[in-house]
Amino acid sequence: MVRPTGARDPIAGPDTPQAPFPLKLRGPVIKGFGRGSKELGIPTANIPLSGLSINGHSDLSSGIYYGFCTLDHSTIPTDKSSVPSATADTTPPSKSSSHAVRDLEYTASVPTTARSPVYPTVLSIGYNPYYKNTTRSIEIHILANFDTDFYGAELSLVILGFIRPEYDYVSKDALVEDIREDIRVAQRSLAREAYQTWKEDGWLKGEGGEGEGQVTGSGSGERSVEGDEEDEKENVKLVPGDRGQTDDVAASALPS
């Protein structure tokens, strides 16, 4: 889809989250390819979600979404010589840059051994036409500033709304400009009372996720970011309502 011209809506979604939201995800933060920070200056958490078969929501539109997440720092390995990775490369990455979003208003976060505060998030579900991906994936940008990495931390995510479709871009600058506006739209949209109440949801406190349909992510690099059709059937990570699944969350880079 070609990027439209003209002013964008300042707020996305209805005043109360509507079906199929909320969608929930939980998994360990692992190393990915680092494209979000290295090329765009916008660090992301990358989730291989080819096919996007979400318990009957396989037709969920590609595009930009918003929600909340938390991090459980108690699950971070003490051995820093390597990091959990979605690929065979487990070497600790160099510190990333978030220069493209540096002037936006973010919360400063200091990692501890406990669960983090609730962070607003913006995420992309789609093919990323600018990079010509052949399978769908999820890339999460956490709206917070971090001084240190948190590879291995368990990430719990609640997706609450849709901002816009994904577009094809003629330049990297146009892509970054839209991502920056996506962040502003997400901040305003999540500030509404009905969305703020989701910050108290038990999923973000580490509750739920047990029982039927749960998949434990190993973080061992056994899954690829892009797979064939059979892989796509296995990469089910999100579920509607109060049900959730556990799987690998690949952090391509961390905010500096």
Please write the tens of the pLDDT for every residue from 149-204: 788 888 888 999 999 998 877 677 888 888 899 999 999 999 999 999 999 999 99
Question: Residue 230 domain-assigned?
Answer: no
Among this protein's residues, is 139 annotated catalytic? yes
119, part of any domain = yes
Q: Is 18 exposed, middle or buried (0-12, 13-18, 19+ CB in 10 A)?
A: exposed
The answer on pLDDT for 54 being more than 50 is no
254 located within any domain: no
Q: Give the residue-averaged pLDDT of 1-28.
A: 84
pLDDT band at residue 35, thresholds of 50, 70 and 90? low
Predicted TM-score (pTM) of this structure: 0.79
In angstroms, the CA 118 to CA 78 distance is 24
- Which residues on adjacent β-strands are paired with residue 69? 119, 157
State the residue range of the domain holding 112: 23-205
Task: Determine the Cα–Cα distance for residues 219 and 159; give it in Å rounded to an integer.
Answer: 22
- Give the mean pLDDT of 44-71: 68
In a domain, 256, yes or no: no
**Does a structural domain hold residue 221?**
no
Contact yes or no for 167/2 (Cβ under 8 A): yes
Whether residue 241 is contained in a domain is answered as: no
Domains contained in the chain, number: 1
DSSP type of residue 94: P
List CB contacts of 240: < 8 A, sequence separation 6 or more.
19, 20, 21, 22, 23, 54, 55, 56, 57
Which residue in 39, 105, 139, 200 is the catalytic one? 139
Average pLDDT of 72-90? 83
> Could you tell me if 29 and 152 are in contact, meaning their C-beta atoms sit under 8 angstroms apart?
yes
Look at residue 156 and tell me if it is in a domain: yes
pLDDT top residue among 141 and 231: 141
Question: How many angstroms separate the CA atoms of 10 and 160, rounded?
Answer: 17
Among the listed residues 17, 231, 20, the one whose alpha carbon sits nearest the alpha carbon of residue 137 = 231
Q: Is residue 56 part of a domain?
A: yes
Question: If phi over 0 gives left and psi between -120 and 50 gives alpha, with beta otherwise, what is residue 41?
Answer: left
- 94/52: higher pLDDT: 94
CA distances from residue 59 to 126, 132, 190, 227 in whole angstroms, order as listed: 12, 20, 24, 19
Candidate from 56-60, 110-114, 240-244 with smallest mean pLDDT: 240-244
What pLDDT, on a 0 to 100 scale, did the predictor assign at position 133?
53
The CATH code of the domain that includes 107 is 2.40.30.30
